[in-house]
Structure 1
């Protein structure tokens, strides 16, 4: 069962400048940052709030590190902006199978590692009214509190 909006993914050309915009404009601070080689992005998670299920909601800022990454290809067509929405779930495996059984294409056969050691999969945007949708099972949030992996 989907429990929350885990994050909104925002593609950007310059991660540092975009982080500074969100810090200066809204007061959001980086909760976690990392380079995800598999996804081909450098990212920063800006924590917005805690949620009633023990998780949190974030803005995920994504700067492609390769032109051939999914985010890089998307930005070549669309420029900067909202890339995807992610819903939190306690069990990405079960929920992705249930959604697949309803005829929605799930992009990964098996969930993969996402930000902060989460487990993720994506749903095809053509099956979700034009919205790339991610399902996320978060790792223990205490394990990454304030951590920055560069």
Structure 2
């Protein structure tokens, strides 16, 4: 079996917000982070804004509908940190290794995420309550 390397870095930290427009001024004016862009990820039912901080990013996640996972998260826990995304190579190999080792996954195959990246989420029950996302940029 091919060797799986460790993740390269923290790609981004996802933060659930009710409104990007209402939240963005805090990040750009007070934290003085640079806005890299805003896009809609219809497959995930979210609108996202990426802000640069060092070699990583913060990702603001705004739900686009009531049935969006982010909408459900905000209803249950309120706004705040949603997930930590790790930059990886060969996401499919990594997911297969996790499955083989009994790690519970939300996505057993990658899906398209923001910035046209392949992404997959690991179930928080396998990670001490933390939602991790693997993110492979093409």
Any residues of structure 2 matched to 1:1-150 within 5 Å, and which?
Answer: 1=5, 2-50=7-55, 57-139=56-138
**When the two structures are aligned, how many residues end up with a matched partner?**
133
TM-score, normalised relative to structure 2: 0.92
TM-score, normalised relative to structure 1: 0.85
RMSD between superposed Cα atoms in Å: 1.0
SS at match of 1:38: helix
Hey, what's the Cα distance between the residues in 2 that align with 1:13 and 1:31?
20
Could you list the runs of 5+ residues in structure 2 that have no partner in the other structure?
Answer: none
Contact 2:12 2:84 in 1 (8 A): yes
Contact 2:95 2:108 in 1 (8 A): no
Misfit runs of 4+, over 6 Å? none
Could you list the runs of 5+ residues in structure 1 that have no partner in the other structure?
Answer: 51-56, 140-150
